[in-house]
Homo-oligomer: A and B are copies of this chain.
Amino acid sequence: MDFASFLTSLGTSFVIFLVLMFLFTWLSRRPGNYVIYYPNRILKGLDPYEGIRLTRNPFSWISESLASTEADVINMSGVDSAVYFVFLTTVLGILVFAGLLVLPVLLPIASTAPGEKADNTTSEGSFNDIDNLSMGHIQLKSPRLWAYAVATYWISFVAYCLLWKAYKHVSDLRAAALMSPDAKPEQFAALVRDIPPVPEGQTRKEQVDSYFKAIYPDTFYRSMVVTDNKKVNKIYEELKGYQKKLERAEAIYAESKQTSSPEGTRPTTKTGFLGLIGNKVDAIEFYDEKVKELILKLEAEQKVTIKEKQQCSALVFFTNRVTASSAAQSLHSTLVDTWKVTDAPEPRQLIWTNLPKKFYVREIRQYVIYFIVFLTIFFYMVPIGFISALTTLDNLKKLLPFLKPVVDQKAIKTVLQAYLPQLALIIFMALLPKLLLFLSKLEGIPEKSHVERAASGKYFYFSVLNVFIGVTIGSTLFNTLKDIQKDTSSIIPLLARSLPKSATFFLTFVALKFFVGYGLELSRIVPLIIYHLKKKYLCKTEAELKEAWAPGDLGYATRAPGDLLILTIVFCYSVIAPLIIPFGVVYFGLGWLVLRNQVLKVYIPSYESYGRMWPHMYKRIMAALILFQATMLGYFIVKKFYYTPILIPLPILSLIFAFVCQKKFYRFFQSTALEVASPELKENPNMEGVFRSFIPLCLSSEKGDEYQFEDALSQVSRTGSTV
């Protein structure tokens, strides 16, 4: 890729971003769009514009983002979002500090170096301005390489310092949130799995209650045995569906009264498949009947479920937080595969179907899934390699000669050359997260946030291996197959040699991601269009309308690995092609601004894991750093630098640093420290409320008769409780 097409790519991206930003400014001012641009504030009962109506210029959202504090983020969106900003700030900090030393020193060194003609610096073998600024331009064995070695050390140490601070800060955030005097239901509960078979003459709930009463005579409150809710859930969903249809039919009827005749036209429906075949009947009557019928059916099924479909898992409730969190950390039975007690997830996070999965089933599933993911990672590489090779213009021309007249036109050629490979890659990558989420859920994890973390980890390794290493080596493989045959022995020198050749590819990849990606994110064009279409043609009731603009959450599972991939790329190129650092800074800086806006005004978190995502992100940042250090080591060897061994301590230092950090901080992210659980609460918790908050929707009563599950779902044992 030459300099002109690089600039074109950059320019086009920037123009798109500007257009999207102005679109955002214009659209977000119209009250009809408030539900798209301020849903979080609206749902929290705040005025969308409260206190921020002062400036109405297109950049006002930037100053609003900058003015917001960490406490605001925690208030509006929880600890998880705040931790995500700690991640963005830390990475931004590392890159800014790195750039401060690296850019003013390495760029002049590279540009004034006597270049190596026709060496492995560009993919086309011809020189251009960007490549002149990279480490590839330095001659073999040159003493100028010392500067690059120092830069590698500098970046590593900056990373250590800021990561340490960040880990400590996140740990404090987590502690502060867990210490909060507002009682949260999950802090009083523990999840029990692998309950052994019920002994003769006892019911499941008697078994659970007597077991925990013996161990915690003073603090055990009551238990809730997990039931197989598959059937009752299906009926419940059906009921909800008919209730919606009924509402809708009533709305249509009411509307018809206003628009056509005063008595209105009663809507009709067909009784068969999807309302398309069968007898034509009055819709309101039909749905009303269905709803009544299903309510009876649901109540009957609820009773059956609660009595007969009890599983080998339960939630137990304690009257204080210390006991609950210490129970979750203690071994209860002498055998690990029975009575396994762990932290209870938030009620909204519980994956009920995973709760009764047995210990060995979970273990085996986990390994099987790891194996499947391993296969996926390695077999996805094959099509990705092809795509990365096919989508370079030259290859396209060779393979599809009829395209030649089109792509040879100057303008089209430039644009295509700039975007085609990146677009293909981005589309390809969007297919995967769903699969990984599905696989992670199969592992038997009881918590939604944990599933997302697991999927996110898999996605990161996938993207680093396939996108970064795959593209880098893949393009080299296609370009210079003979080079490879010489040294197949080691991947690090191979990777190191291929890196400079792919530098501009990744520069444009990063630029595309931040300008177009964050532009779309900020302007919310797609949700806006969908909302307006739905509003116009589909939605009849208030509930349907609300559903149409419901904003969703930040989407950790794909966002974090995406950012980490960019970070890996920027780290690895930071010394070889320092020009990538400003791109990284813009990516994370812009990301910070845009997401700050989105978190405060748009997204609603679907769970709260109190920063448990952080250790995962931290681990991957360290992996990226070590990959960077190993790559540099390899590249210095390629450059025949005599003093290369002085870089050997770096990966070792990183491993020690990562080990110490995880050792010191990680356990608190696995389980709640007791000193954090011990502070006094604002008021004695309403234990009945805590208990009720865990009853799944499909089992809670429609009529508000709160006590119908008492005898079956759990046994009240108030004698021992102190509340």
Contacts and interface: CB of A to CB of B under 8 A. Distances in A.
Contacts of A337: 663-664
A488 interface: no
A296 B673 CA distance: 46
Interface in A657-709: 663-668, 671-679
A429 to B, nearest CB: 35
B335 A664 contact: yes
Q: Which has the most chain B C-beta neighbours within 10 Å: A326, A336, A667?
A: A326
A543 interface: no
Interface string A318-330: 0000100111011
Contacts of A174: 334
Interface stretch (A93-101, A208-216, A256-264): A208-216
A298 interface: no
A331 interface: yes
A49 B338 CA distance: 46
A171 interface: yes
A332 interface: yes
Contacts of A289: none
Q: Which has the most chain B C-beta neighbours within 10 Å: A334, A668, A675?
A: A334
A224 interface: no
A333 interface: yes
A84 interface: no
A339 B668 CA distance: 13
A676 B330 CA distance: 12
A332 B676 CA distance: 8
A667 B359 CA distance: 15
Contacts of A675: 211, 214-215, 332-334, 339
A334 B668 contact: yes
A175 interface: yes
Given A337-B664, A664-B337, A215 B678 contact: yes
A483 interface: no
Given A211-B675, A326-B326, A339-B675, A331 B216 contact: no
A336 B333 CA distance: 25
B211 A331 contact: no
A711 interface: no
Contacts of A542: none
Given A326-B326, A326-B330, A668-B331, A678 B214 contact: yes
- Chain A: interface secondary structure? helix
Given A327-B326, A331-B673, A673-B331, A336 B678 contact: no
A237 interface: no
A32 B172 CA distance: 70
Interface in A233-290: none
A547 interface: no
Interface in A195-233: 211, 214-216, 218
Given A664-B335, A665-B336, A330 B674 contact: yes
Nearest to A219: B218
A369 B348 CA distance: 49
A322 B668 contact: no
Interface in A324-366: 325-327, 329-337, 339, 363
B334 A215 contact: no
B329 A331 contact: yes
Contacts of A333: 673, 675
Nearest to A174: B334
A175 B676 CA distance: 32
A327 B677 CA distance: 13
Nearest to A218: B218
A684 to B, nearest CB: 14
A672 B331 CA distance: 7
Contacts of A677: 215
A102 B212 CA distance: 50
Contacts of A676: 334
Contacts of A664: 335-337
A215 B332 contact: no
B215 A671 contact: no
Contacts of A678: 214-215
Contacts of A666: 336
Interface string A150-178: 00000000000000000000011011000
A666 to B, nearest CB: 8
A325 B334 CA distance: 13
B329 A667 contact: no
A673 B322 contact: no
Contact of A674 (B172, B331, B363, B668): B331
B335 A215 contact: no
Q: Which has the most chain B C-beta neighbours within 10 Å: A171, A216, A679?
A: A216
Nearest to A172: B334
A83 to B, nearest CB: 15
Given A214-B678, A215-B322, A215-B678, A334 B175 contact: yes
A387 to B, nearest CB: 38
A331 B218 contact: no
Nearest to A171: B334
A72 B260 CA distance: 97
A332 B214 contact: no
Interface string A352-389: 00000000000100000000000000000000000000
23 contacts: A171-B334, A211-B675, A215-B674, A215-B675, A216-B322, A325-B330, A326-B330, A329-B329, A329-B331, A330-B330, A330-B671, A330-B674, A331-B667, A331-B668, A331-B672, A331-B674, A332-B673, A333-B675, A334-B665, A335-B664, A335-B668, A336-B664, A336-B666
**Lowest 5 CB-CB distances: which A-B pairs, in order?**
A326-B330, A334-B668, A215-B678, A329-B330, A334-B673
